[in-house]
Chain A
Amino acid sequence: MHGRPRNAASKPGEEATSAAKAFRLRSLQPQFMSNHHQKIYTQEAVQISEELLKINPEAYTAWNYRKLAVEDKLSRSDDSDPSLVNLILSEELRVVDEVILKNLKSYGAWYHRKWVLSKGHPSLQKELQLVNEYQKIDSRNFHAWNYRRFVVEQTKTSELDELQYTTDMIYDSFSNYSAWHNRSLLLSSLVAKKADGFMPKETIRREIDFVYNALFTDEYDQSAWFYYLWLLDQTVKMETPLRISSWPSDGSIIILSGPECFNGSSSKFTTFCSESGSFPLILYFDQAVSGVSSSTVTVDSELKGHEDLVWEPVSDKNSPVSSCVWVARLEFDSTEPCFRTENKVKVCLGKSRGIVSSRGCNLSTPYEFVFTVLIHDTVGVSQEGIVSWTGDGFDNWDAQSKDLNSLIALDHLNADTGVEWRKKAIKMEIECFRRLPDSKFGKLILARLLMTEANVISDDAVYKEILQLYNDLMALDSTHDQYYKDELSVALLHKVTSSTESLSRYLFRYRNMNNIVCLRLSNLTLSRIAAVDKLLFVQMLDLSHNELHSADGLEAMQLLCCLNLSHNRIRSFSALDSLRHLKQLRVLDVTHNHIGGKHPVDTTRYLCSSPLSNSGGIGREVPSKYWDAYLVLGDLMKLKQLDLRGNDLIAGEEFSSLVRQVVPKLVWLNGHKLAS
């Protein structure tokens, strides 16, 4: 099916040969089938299957038949005579060998070989020589490589010998990705075993030197670049502790107030209003972790009910074990006369082991933070006003105010935590790639290297260099320009959050809602969201006039109550799946996107919990029309204000009534107050 010319100006003999083959096959097939169905395993019958397989190695039923024939022969032969058994199995291996040589890609033949060996053939050593021969014919054949690994494991061949084999293969052709792949497996295993001469740092250094040969020989060859990236990844991750951020952050003061907080005092401090007499305690890890519980996280406070905190992962129900974001709810009593008393809360992680990342990293050193809680009583009446993103309802952030809660976390997170050895290694690579002539991979890797240390990007010159690299890449490799564009968004957000000074430029206060802090990241051509670990404090977020096609990443911002996604490129409600985790969300603006338009392919169909992925709405009646709106909006329990205007096909009355049905608490829809 591959690589045959269409208008085969076929050589005269060829057509005749293939017609003869077809004729022969057509006569062999019924004979074979009849033998198979009648369980005839005579020499003559078995011979027919051999001939058939030589013409058509994929005829799986014939391989099955041969297995039955072997079992039949073995059952008749005398167990006590091993040479007889060997004879039967060797004969079978001969057939496989001949077939594989005709078609190295036959799944059936390769498996048959394994099966025969499992019957007790003693000559496994010969297999390694044989697979060497096959790999000379086709050095990328993945069946052969899989088989090689199988034989090596069975015969306990030395990993050092195998490593040398990959070296030879690579010198033979730098573009042998299969050999590089196998090399990475062998090295991982040797390093894990702490084999002599394979300590992590020296191994990585040696391999980087080795791969340089290939990189600078053919700068377009992907194989060596992927291998280099793997080495780099190992370098970056080595000895890197889990990075943690939290809300409330260390040293911060938060003010809690009861349900009617939308008016009342105009404190300059971060205020969190709660309807349930509790507030969330949020932990963010830079890798998904499991094991966050009341035994691995201890909380000391004068607030009541902190003894048995229930930690819940912010993730879909099918993945309860591991998540980047974990939330527990701390209770407080707003009726008690504790008004204006300070409550210190101390949180400590990792005193007892158990928090483990999906990559196997442990939380090695305990992590501690302390914050202060002030509780306000509540006065006044509830306000149901509409939140407006336009107009002059916003004040500039007062950098002089004492409310550093929002920014305290930043300096903490941007602190230099790099390990000396690693920093040196990365710096060396940066220097090396800066000298490299213009190649696509060279530029990409340099850009990635520059972004590995979180604090480096605060340097304007470095940031400019990164921008320049990605702009060059877009010109050099226009096929993947959207990839580079996404990377630029990531760089921009890292830059914005890299220092107190740069972030404060994007902070405002929204007057009509108790002066809460609003982060306005509009008009930045953002195409993806990043750096959320530094934005856990944000309650009001304006991402309008960007190029986002999904809200992925926002699930970490557990305090969000007002979100503006208008004028972006969102095409479906499934792209808003992450908002289902935002339990505080009251105001959502998705006007002027492309929801419901003629975009048949939904790229977030499987990133949205639903019956399609056996992960949401199971057992409920989910209508196929608007299924994603039904599921996503249905989970926004507190939503009061929703604006969908300016989207393609969801303006109709049918849709509005669906919204009213699934979001019962809604007060404002598309700018109009709903009749209660």
Chain B
Amino acid sequence: MSTEETERGPRRTNPESPPNYNFSSRSKLMSSTSSSQLVADKHVRYILMAEKKKESLESVVMDHLRMNGAYWGLTTLDLLDKLGTVPEDEVLSWVMTCQHESGGFAGNTGHDPHILYTLSAVQILALFDKISILDVGKVSSYVAGLQNEDGSFSGDIWGEIDTRFSYIAICCLSILKCLDKINVEKAVAYIVSCKNLDGGFGCTPGAESHAGQIFCCVGALAITGSLHHVDKDLLGWWLCERQVKTGGLNGRPEKLPDVCYSWWVLSSLIMIDRVHWIDKAKLVKFILDCQDLDNGGISDRPDDAVDIFHTYFGVAGLSLLEYPGVKTIDPAYALPVDVINRILFTR
């Protein structure tokens, strides 16, 4: 649930401004191996291998958020219909080693519990249809216990407040069917207090709008039946203006496009029914151009190094773009539609 992005640096001219950028990006696309196909098998292999490569700096640095990594990888596999290739028991028993007495989950064995990893753990169990192995009362009490008087949520006992945590709490409790354990009205009011003049949302009241944060807030409002608080035309237009001429989406005005925003912007646009305002074909091409065709995996931008985070967001983005061969993902719960339907509907 990291909402990183990259600056475009000190350049003062706009990346979209013709003629320079257009020209250079077009010639770049021409020169790079033009793909236009999802190399699903290679991505599956990349994900299964990533779990085994523990030597690199990248994987050591990500050690503390292995729970997020597992969720990204496993959801991608499920979207590509390859979840069956994973040793389920092994995964589940590792997940359960991360649970603390408080009910919350850590990012990895030995680390401290945090709401970020608690949602990932619950989502992983949902993927395998194994919510039943949880002590639902305990997990939901942990999450509900993080709600503050003003309706906001802390990430853990140390008290950092962010609308990301509001989304996580609401999503998690809805999957566990325990939303009644929190004050939903206050939770919604806090999120609404983070709404900005551009229609977007920030992490706390007054904070600048950011596509990652917008996903969290719109998602939380969607799950609580509160989307009437969103000015759909205003926000929809701001979001669709995230698409730059290369087809990719950025997360804030005047930033570079990045594959992870394919998820955050697209899912938000879908939840408010404004996704037709962007050019889907161009975005598909942008994502496909970010694949590593030789070794699998997807990167933030064409020809950058791939990672599991962007591989997930790339595939999830393609799912939202109705790319053939990719299962449909739910834009609010960030789980495959069949998984969330199984939980919330009867058969």
| A→B interface (CB under 8 Å) | 1-8, 18-19, 21-22, 25-26, 29, 33, 37, 55-56, 58-61, 64, 67, 105, 107, 111, 114-115, 138, 140, 142, 145-146, 149, 173-178, 181-182, 184-185, 188, 218, 220-223, 226, 230, 233, 288, 315-319, 322, 478-480, 482-483, 486, 549-550, 552, 599-601, 603-607, 609, 611-616, 621-624, 627
Distance A7 CA – B238 CA, assembled complex (angstroms): 35
**Chain B residues with CB below 8 A from A188, complex form:** 197
Instruction: Give the residue of A19, A111, A181, A480 whose beta carbon is less than 8 angstroms from that of B57.
Output: A19
Contacts A22-B55, A61-B111, A483-B237 given; indicate if A606 touches B198 (C-beta within 8 A): no
Instruction: Give the residue of A3, A21, A145, A175 whose beta carbon is less than 8 angstroms from that of B208.
Output: A145
Interface centre among B7, B254, B271, B340 (most CB of A within 10 A): B254
- Answer yes or no: B342 CB below 8 A from chain A CBs: yes
**Chain B residues with CB below 8 A from A622, complex form:** 345-346
Segment among B34-42, B125-133, B145-153, B224-232 that sits at the interface with chain A: B224-232
Distance A418 CA – B159 CA, assembled complex (angstroms): 49
**Chain A residues with CB below 8 A from B300, complex form:** 1-3
Tally B residues with Cβ within 8 Å of A: 98
- Answer yes or no: B304 CB below 8 A from chain A CBs: yes
**Chain A residues with CB below 8 A from B110, complex form:** 33, 37, 61
Instruction: Give the residue of B2, B6, B158, B253 whose beta carbon is less than 8 angstroms from that of A64.
Output: B158
**Chain A residues with CB below 8 A from B347, complex form:** 623-624
**Chain B residues with CB below 8 A from A105, complex form:** 4
Q: Least Cβ distance of B252 to chain A in Å? A: 6
Chain B 311-347, CB-CB to A under 8 Å as 1, else 0, gives 0000000011110000110111000010011101111
**Chain B residues with CB below 8 A from A220, complex form:** 14, 16-17
Q: Which of B247-297 contact A (CB under 8 A)?
A: 247, 252-255, 258, 270-273, 275-279, 282, 292
User: Does A6 lie within 8 Å of B304, measured CB to CB?
Assistant: yes
Interface centre among A1, A67, A220, A226 (most CB of B within 10 A): A1
Instruction: Give the residue of A2, A21, A603 whose beta carbon is less than 8 angstroms from that of B273.
Output: A603
**Chain A residues with CB below 8 A from B112, complex form:** 60-61, 64
Contacts A105-B4, A223-B253, A623-B347 given; indicate if A6 touches B299 (C-beta within 8 A): yes
User: Does A600 lie within 8 Å of B328, measured CB to CB?
Assistant: yes
- Answer yes or no: B196 CB below 8 A from chain A CBs: yes
User: Does A177 lie within 8 Å of B225, measured CB to CB?
Assistant: no
**Chain A residues with CB below 8 A from B292, complex form:** 6
User: Does A480 lie within 8 Å of B243, measured CB to CB?
Assistant: yes
Contacts A64-B158, A181-B208 given; indicate if A222 touches B241 (C-beta within 8 A): yes
User: Does B252 lie within 8 Å of A177, measured CB to CB?
Assistant: yes
User: Does B114 lie within 8 Å of A2, measured CB to CB?
Assistant: no
**Chain B residues with CB below 8 A from A26, complex form:** 60
- Answer yes or no: B310 CB below 8 A from chain A CBs: yes
**Chain B residues with CB below 8 A from A107, complex form:** 2, 160
Distance A220 CA – B196 CA, assembled complex (angstroms): 23
- Answer yes or no: B207 CB below 8 A from chain A CBs: yes
Contacts A1-B4, A319-B226 given; indicate if A149 touches B303 (C-beta within 8 A): no
User: Does B7 lie within 8 Å of A138, measured CB to CB?
Assistant: yes
Instruction: Give the residue of A67, A145, A146, A614 whose beta carbon is less than 8 angstroms from that of B223.
Output: A614
User: Does A61 lie within 8 Å of B64, measured CB to CB?
Assistant: yes
Contacts A600-B337, A624-B342 given; indicate if A318 touches B253 (C-beta within 8 A): no
**Chain B residues with CB below 8 A from A111, complex form:** 158, 160
**Chain A residues with CB below 8 A from B258, complex form:** 2
Q: What would be 7 A-B contacts, judged by CB atoms less than 8 Å apart?
A: A5-B303, A19-B57, A64-B156, A175-B254, A223-B253, A318-B224, A479-B282
User: Does B240 lie within 8 Å of A480, measured CB to CB?
Assistant: yes
- Answer yes or no: B49 CB below 8 A from chain A CBs: no
Distance A483 CA – B331 CA, assembled complex (angstroms): 21
| B→A interface (CB under 8 Å) | 2, 4-7, 12-14, 16-17, 55-57, 60-61, 63-65, 106-107, 110-112, 114, 156, 158-160, 174, 179, 196-198, 202-204, 206-210, 222-228, 237-238, 240-241, 243, 245, 247, 252-255, 258, 270-273, 275-279, 282, 292, 299-301, 303-307, 309-310, 319-322, 327-328, 330-332, 337, 340-342, 344-347
**Chain A residues with CB below 8 A from B206, complex form:** 149, 185
User: Does A599 lie within 8 Å of B322, measured CB to CB?
Assistant: yes
**Chain B residues with CB below 8 A from A175, complex form:** 12, 14, 253-254
- Given A4-B304, A25-B61, A107-B2, output 12 extra A-B contacts at Cβ < 8 Å: A1-B4, A2-B5, A3-B300, A174-B12, A175-B14, A181-B208, A230-B197, A233-B197, A483-B240, A613-B225, A614-B224, A623-B345
Distance A111 CA – B56 CA, assembled complex (angstroms): 28
Distance A3 CA – B299 CA, assembled complex (angstroms): 9
Distance A4 CA – B297 CA, assembled complex (angstroms): 14
User: Does B208 lie within 8 Å of A177, measured CB to CB?
Assistant: yes
Contacts A145-B208, A181-B196 given; indicate if A479 touches B279 (C-beta within 8 A): yes
Q: Least Cβ distance of B55 to chain A in Å? A: 7
Closest 10 interchain pairs by CB?
A615-B225, A624-B345, A318-B225, A600-B328, A606-B222, A22-B57, A613-B225, A222-B253, A4-B305, A483-B277
**Chain B residues with CB below 8 A from A115, complex form:** 158-159
Contacts A60-B64, A611-B345 given; indicate if A218 touches B328 (C-beta within 8 A): no
Contacts A60-B64, A105-B4, A614-B179 given; indicate if A146 touches B277 (C-beta within 8 A): no
- Find the B residue at minimum CB distance from A599: B322
Contacts A2-B258, A140-B7, A218-B14 given; indicate if A627 touches B245 (C-beta within 8 A): no
**Chain A residues with CB below 8 A from B12, complex form:** 173-175, 218
**Chain B residues with CB below 8 A from A482, complex form:** 276-277
User: Does B207 lie within 8 Å of A222, measured CB to CB?
Assistant: no
- Find the B residue at minimum CB distance from A485: B276
Q: Least Cβ distance of A456 to chain B in Å? A: 20
- Find the B residue at minimum CB distance from A7: B303
- Find the B residue at minimum CB distance from A21: B57
**Chain B residues with CB below 8 A from A60, complex form:** 64, 107, 111-112, 114
User: Does A315 lie within 8 Å of B57, measured CB to CB?
Assistant: no
**Chain A residues with CB below 8 A from B277, complex form:** 480, 482-483, 486
- Find the B residue at minimum CB distance from A482: B276
- Find the A residue at minimum CB distance from B162: A107
User: Does B198 lie within 8 Å of A319, measured CB to CB?
Assistant: no
Q: Least Cβ distance of B107 to chain A in Å? A: 7
Contacts A177-B252, A604-B273, A613-B222 given; indicate if A6 touches B14 (C-beta within 8 A): no
Q: Least Cβ distance of A53 to chain B in Å? A: 11
Distance A2 CA – B105 CA, assembled complex (angstroms): 27
User: Does B198 lie within 8 Å of A230, measured CB to CB?
Assistant: yes
User: Does A67 lie within 8 Å of B158, measured CB to CB?
Assistant: yes
User: Does A316 lie within 8 Å of B228, measured CB to CB?
Assistant: yes
- Find the B residue at minimum CB distance from A142: B208
- Find the B residue at minimum CB distance from A150: B204
Distance A394 CA – B106 CA, assembled complex (angstroms): 68
User: Does B64 lie within 8 Å of A601, measured CB to CB?
Assistant: no
User: Does A226 lie within 8 Å of B253, measured CB to CB?
Assistant: yes
Q: Least Cβ distance of A572 to chain B in Å? A: 11
Distance A596 CA – B272 CA, assembled complex (angstroms): 20
- Find the A residue at minimum CB distance from B305: A4
User: Does A140 lie within 8 Å of B197, measured CB to CB?
Assistant: no
User: Does B208 lie within 8 Å of A603, measured CB to CB?
Assistant: no
User: Does A22 lie within 8 Å of B60, measured CB to CB?
Assistant: yes
**Chain A residues with CB below 8 A from B16, complex form:** 220
Q: Least Cβ distance of A4 to chain B in Å? A: 4
**Chain A residues with CB below 8 A from B63, complex form:** 29
User: Does A1 lie within 8 Å of B207, measured CB to CB?
Assistant: no
User: Does B228 lie within 8 Å of A614, measured CB to CB?
Assistant: no
Distance A2 CA – B65 CA, assembled complex (angstroms): 17
**Chain B residues with CB below 8 A from A288, complex form:** 228
**Chain B residues with CB below 8 A from A623, complex form:** 345-347
User: Does B209 lie within 8 Å of A25, measured CB to CB?
Assistant: no
Distance A142 CA – B162 CA, assembled complex (angstroms): 13
- Find the B residue at minimum CB distance from A140: B7
